[in-house]
Amino acid sequence: MLRSTALGGTRSALVVSLLPGLALGQFLTGFYNPILPGFHPDPSCIHLKEDDTFYCASSSFNAFPGIPIHASKDLTTWRLVGNALNRESQLPELAISNGSTSGIWAPALRYHNGTFYVVTTLVHDKKAPEDPTRWDNIIFSTPDIWDESKWSDAVHFDFEGYDTSPFWENGDSYIVGSHAYRVEPGIHLSKVDLKTGEVKSNWTNLWNGTGGLAPEGPHIYTKDGYYYLMIAEGGTGLGHMETIARSENLYGPYDPNPANPILTNANTSEYFQTVGHADLFQDRRGDWWGVALSTRSGSEYITYPMGRETILTNVTWENRSWPVFNNPIKGAMRGWQLPRIIQNLPGDGPFVTEGDNNLQFRPGSEIPPHFVYWRPPIKENYAISPEGHPNTLRLKPSRLNLTALDGNAGGPGGQTFVGRRQVDTLFTYRVDLNYSPKTLEEEAGVTLFLTQNHHARFGLTMLPLANGSSSALVPHFRFDAISYIPVPPSFSIPLSASMQNKTLTMEIRTVNQTHFSFAAGSAKSREPLTIFAYAPGDIVSWGFTGTLLGVYATSNGGNGTTEAYVSNWKYEGWGQIRDNFAGPLVQ
């Protein structure tokens, strides 16, 4: 069994995970999954011949900036190029999305005649499936994928469904999408002008899939005189799978592959589950590769805080034959010879597994490109190195807390929160927080955040003493969690005098594969931090997104306006578990 072993203390640790049967130095065909760990679902990837680079887009739901694009030369190291959705003005409607599973679903990334396209859907998931305003289908394009500012505003087009993907032939552009399945099921095709969004023909149902739940995530490929229509079915949970059909005519009829499903980990005991929603591309040598989403949950499917991640596998696709995926998906795999790196990747974005090594928020710097807000931010609530507070990130509290009014909608004033993805099974996240709350209920701290209705937060707030010995307000540590399943109890405890009016280190850390700890201590002290709470990962294992680690500030509906200053932001991964793991972790 492949396993990761974590050794060492809080700050430094060693992870050992070897590909079975491979000696060091022989990694030419071996690679690890996931290739994009953490909240990177619904991958769509291309290989661009012009610069011999692979590019992948991921779903981002309510997170903003959205639609992260990663690039790689070797299929194993991936750098953040930028976010296709990086200005609120590109898609103002994201600000009023309601629902934890709303927002950007399944961007399809394609390159055609000098332009990159992302075709996707802003889904208002609280609306009924038959409500046409539930589905806001959009196209973004850019001539230069490395310059974030070049991405166009959203061009809207009419389609009552989601998972839309473009395809070109004879100078015409087409889009396939998953029609809202409870109304008129199936995968539909139409000619669409990608510049204007004009739908130029009626949507035609090409295929309903093999009978699995929710036929979705379609892509069309042409090869050897066939149109191949590859889709996901079975829902994005344990029954997820990829199926394919083909036709000699674009409009069908499509014949299903007798060997369907062509990619799935369903009905296996693999650590990687829910494999599906795939895309296909060739490298420079002509070898085929597939990407798909997967959760590292085991078949128990209980603890998977990082949600749906991006995996890679090799594919054999012979002439006039069906593509054959290497599956089941595992943490250590062997595929085709990995592309050799001839030129380094351009850009200065972080690599996906890089961590945050004591970010300083220096004067003149910007919020890093891998940080996200929940919906577009109220900009004035965030400032880097404001007057008198160099090397800090200043947070102004929002009236709404992380749950907001009902756990689903946002609201006026936004929610002051900024975070980054959890990308390691085992990690330590720490910030220093300079915050002295003054007003009843105002609060700032750190959070393990999946959605408004699935998170745990640990912060400082102003409360009267619980024993009523005085009506004076005293700063308290407060822990709160929310989920659809039972959460650890909320509590608040007065800060000891030695912790008041001091910069505190606030920490969220994994204690093992299933649990997180929440700790604090004086930032100046050399004493170990004190752990105040534990929370199990199953409370943030839900839905379509993956956990973020970040900071928040709120008046909790009250009148507080005290600002919080965040500094020394660290995220360090110290263990990546890639296979069923039963033994104790060495810490």
Ligand X SMILES: *[C@@H]1O[C@H](CO)[C@@H](O)[C@H](O)[C@H]1NC(C)=O
Of the candidates 584, 570, 456, 572, the residue with the CA atom closest to the CA atom of residue 513: 584
Of the candidates 548, 419, 546, 584, the residue with the CA atom closest to the CA atom of residue 34: 546
Q: Which of residues 151-180 bind ligand X (CB under 6 A)?
A: 171
Beta bridge partners of 80: 70
Q: Which of residues 31-90 bind ligand X (CB under 6 A)?
A: none
We find the least distance from the C-beta atom of residue 365 to ligand X, in angstroms, to be: 30
The distance in angstroms from the start CA to the end CA of the chain is 20
Q: Does 207 bind ligand X (CB under 6 A)?
A: yes
- The sign of the torsion formed by the CA atoms of 187, 188, 191, 192 equals negative
Catalytic residue among 216, 538, 563, 572: 216
We find the least distance from the C-beta atom of residue 362 to ligand X, in angstroms, to be: 28
| Nearest-angstrom CA–CA distance, 126 and 145 | 32
We find the least distance from the C-beta atom of residue 120 to ligand X, in angstroms, to be: 16
Of the candidates 119, 107, 91, the residue with the CA atom closest to the CA atom of residue 190: 119
Q: Does 392 bind ligand X (CB under 6 A)?
A: no
Q: Which of residues 399-428 bind ligand X (CB under 6 A)?
A: 401, 403, 409
Q: How many CB atoms neighbour CB 435 within 10 A?
A: 25
Distance, C-alpha 165 to centroid of its chain: 20
- Is 309 tagged catalytic? no
User: With CB under 6 A, what is the number of residues at the site for ligand X?
Assistant: 53
Given the structure tokens 């003054």, which residue do they identify? 438
Among 86, 95, 101, 185, binds ligand X (CB under 6 A): 185
CA dihedral 507, 535, 42, 130 (to 10 degrees): -130
Residue closest to ligand X, measured at CB: 557
Do 419 and 546 contact (CB within 8 A), yes or no? Answer: no
We find the least distance from the C-beta atom of residue 341 to ligand X, in angstroms, to be: 19
We find the least distance from the C-beta atom of residue 110 to ligand X, in angstroms, to be: 13
- Is 88 tagged catalytic? no
Do 65 and 86 contact (CB within 8 A), yes or no? Answer: yes
- SS3 at position 515: strand
We find the least distance from the C-beta atom of residue 422 to ligand X, in angstroms, to be: 17
Among 274, 314, 447, 453, binds ligand X (CB under 6 A): 314
Length, in residues, of the chain = 587
Among 3, 87, 156, 334, binds ligand X (CB under 6 A): 334
- For strands 426-434 and 63-64, give the pairing: unpaired
Binding characters for ligand X, 225-254, by CB under 6 A (x = yes):
--------------x-x-------------
Q: Which of residues 452-471 bind ligand X (CB under 6 A)?
A: 465, 467, 469
| Nearest-angstrom CA–CA distance, 505 and 498 | 14
Binding characters for ligand X, 80-119, by CB under 6 A (x = yes):
----------------x-x--------------xx-----
Binding site for ligand X (CB under 6 A): 29, 96, 98, 113-114, 124, 171, 185-186, 201-202, 205, 207-208, 239, 241, 261, 264, 266-267, 314-316, 319, 324-326, 334-336, 401, 403, 409, 436, 440, 465, 467, 469, 480, 482, 494, 497, 500-501, 511-512, 514-515, 534, 556-559
Residues marked active site are found at 42, 216
